[in-house]
Amino acid sequence: MTLRTTATLAAGLISALLALAALRGLPFGTVLFWFAPFPLFAAGLAFGWQAAAQAVLAGALVTVVSGGVPGALAWVLLFAMPVVLLLRLALPDTRGGPLALAMPFATLALWPAAMLLAAEFAFAGQPGGLSGVLRAVMEHALARMGATPEMGAEDFVAMMVRIKPLAFALWFAGVMAMNAAIAQRMVARRGLLIAAPARWSMALLPGWYWKLAAGVVVAALVVPGGAGFAVQSAAMMLAVPLALQGLAVVHVASLGKPARPLMLAPLYVALVLFTVPVGVGLAGLGVAEHFLNLRGRPPRPGTGLTPPED
Per-residue pLDDT tens over the stretch 44-71: 999 999 999 999 999 999 999 888 888 8
pLDDT tops 50 at residue 248: yes
Q: What is the pLDDT of residues 261-290, one digit of tens each?
A: 888 899 899 988 888 889 999 999 999 998
Phi-psi map region of 301: left, alpha, beta (phi>0 left; psi -120 to 50 alpha): beta
The CA-based angle 206-208-211, given to 5 degrees, is 130
This prediction has a pTM of 0.88
Task: Output the average pLDDT for the chain.
Answer: 86
Q: 308: pLDDT confidence band, cut at 50, 70 and 90?
A: very low
